[in-house]
Amino acid sequence: MEIVVWVIGLRAVGCPWHSEVRASSEVCRLGREIRRFLVPARKQLKCVFCPGYFVESAYMRIVLLGGLFPKEKESFFMSKAKNNFQVAADALQWELVDGFESVLGGRVNIVTAPFVGTYPRDYDDMWVRGFKFLREPEEENYSAGFLNLKVLSNFSRYFSCKRILEGLMSKFSRDEKVCIVVYGMFAYLLAAAVASKRTFSNLKVCLVVPDLPDMMGGDSSRLKIRLYNYFNGRALDRALKGVDGYVLLSKFMAERLPIEDRPWCVMEGIAKEREGRGRTSDSKVVSILYSGTLAKRYGVIDLLEAFRKIEGAHFRLWICGVGDGVGDVVAAAANDARIDYLGQVPREEVLALQERATLLVNPRTSIGDFTRYSFPSKILEYMSSGTPCIMHRLAGVPEEYFEHCIVPPSEDGSGLRLAILEAERMGRERLSAIGIGARDFVATNKTAGKQCEKIVHLIDRL
């Protein structure tokens, strides 16, 4: 016999009438306690405001398995990193955590093997120490310790994550639906999740795919890179058989993954809720900001070429980040006093710069297959700032985004130059309106709560 309990205020996943209900409210906390003590696990709740909608997610617990940096140790990890610090990946993972907690009212655990480079070239420590950390609402979270040497690092991360997951799962009720949400197509993470699934029948695995492995760069002409890709690909193929559902950042990713008849959804990314600038500036200085990976394939050379051909002492170009194009950026800054290379700066400082700038630029072009199978996280970050942005049309970006930005007439340095000059001619009020429109668009449709609601609804079907 099916038991249905009517609960006032418990958030119904996907219900339009509950889109703004906060799980932290007194009513919702009362609802969770009613559910906890009076409702047998895995039975359904029915909301009084939307009686046609059943809510399975009330019994769900999510374990995020990825490589984020615990907040209290972020500066420590950053001080040890010698090359690119995974700022964008870290930000998206934390937004997922916040979104899941918003939708489920807590019931989220974190297991992380921080995304640091290997010793000694990319990171100072040969052994990355593990530790336990707490966050509201005081769920157990773990940062895995591992041996940080090439080749051995992935094996060490796998065994450490598997041990932590199985220990965590043993503390949960067998009647509780648990889903491990794996961030990224990393064989060691996915294999650890799938191995745990074999032991615990109430466990599901959902994979978030921010990038496809063969689209993540690297010199594939080098033998060791080819060997790594071969063995990593074989391990991934085995692990992917245990995935129950997929979250993709571009719909075209489905063409390259063995999804078959398994459920999947598209979540381009998550926009951080920010007030943004929302004001005009009387300054005559036109400050242009690029923040992110300084990869040549992302168009940073085009941006330097465009700026070099723009005349006027009132123009400024600020660049943050590291990558294979950093030498070109440093050389350009040495030859042009209007260019400031700021290096790799903390995320909070980057966000502040985005709100101070006149224009934000994403110079990535549609050249290369990877643009079809990816969604640049920079777009949502830029739009959240309230500062207008310039970007090319990319296949992996839905058309709705281009209604809220400035699109260059051509995908090269010349096109960027014309777009920057056109933006200057628009005037500050018009630019402010574009920036605020973009901010409102992502704040309404792409926040952590909205995007994670899609994922929770997907997990309900697994």
Instruction: For residue 73, count other CB atoms closer than 10 A to its CB.
Output: 14
**Kind and range of the H or E element at 376?**
none
Region 337-344: what's the mean pLDDT? 95
pLDDT at residue 253 greater than cutoff 80: yes
Token pair in block for residue 326: 């950093």
Residue 134 has pLDDT above 90, yes or no: no
Position 24 scores a pLDDT of: 33
Whether 236 and 191 have beta carbons less than 8 Å apart is answered as: no
Q: What is the mean pLDDT of residues 321-346?
A: 94
pLDDT for 278 equals 52
C-alpha dihedral over 225, 299, 340, 117, to 10 degrees? -20
Q: Is the pLDDT of residue 142 over 60?
A: yes
Rounded Cα distance between 118 and 224, Å, is: 15
How does the average pLDDT of the chain come out, rounded?
85
How many whole angstroms separate alpha carbon 356 and alpha carbon 350?
10
Strand segments, DSSP code E, in 350-433 are 359-362, 389-391
DSSP symbols for 103-130: HHTS-EEEEE----PPBTTTBS-SEE--
34, pLDDT greater than 70: no
SS3 139: strand
Per 3-state DSSP, the chain is made up of helix, strand and coil in percentages (nearest 5) of 45, 20, 40
- The more confident residue out of 112 and 140 is 112
Residue given tokens 């052994």 in the structure block? 127
Peptide bond preceding 120 in cis form (omega within 30 of 0): yes
Q: Is the pLDDT of residue 280 over 60?
A: no
Please tell me the pTM assigned to this model.
0.82
What are 305's two structure tokens?
A: 């070429």
Name the pLDDT band for 337 (thresholds 50, 70, 90): very high
Q: What is the pLDDT of residue 105?
A: 81
2-11, 160-169, 294-303, 435-444: least confident range = 2-11
Residue 302: strand, helix, or coil: helix
User: Are 78 and 85 a contacting pair, CB within 8 Å?
Assistant: yes
User: How many residues does the structure list for the chain?
Assistant: 462
Mean pLDDT of all residues in 33-42? 42
The Cα–Cα gap between 278 and 396 comes to: 28
- What whole-number percentage of the chain has pLDDT above 70? 84
Q: Dihedral through CA 187, CA 191, CA 194, CA 199, nearest 10? A: -170
Is pLDDT larger for residue 7 or for residue 216?
216
Averaged pLDDT, 109-128: 95
Task: Please check the confidence at residue 345 and state whether its pLDDT lies above 70.
Answer: yes
Burial 4-20 (b: 16+ CB within 10 A, else e): ebebebbbbbbbeebee
Residues 6+ apart with CB under 8 A from 12: 18, 47, 49, 50, 53, 55
What is the C-alpha to C-alpha distance for residues 372 and 376, in angstroms, rounded to an integer?
A: 11
- Residue 166 C-alpha from the chain's centroid: 26
* Of 390 and 85, the one with more pLDDT: 390
pLDDT more than 90, % of the chain: 67
pLDDT value at residue 49: 47
Query: Which pLDDT value is given to residue 220?
Result: 60
pLDDT at residue 264, as a whole number: 97
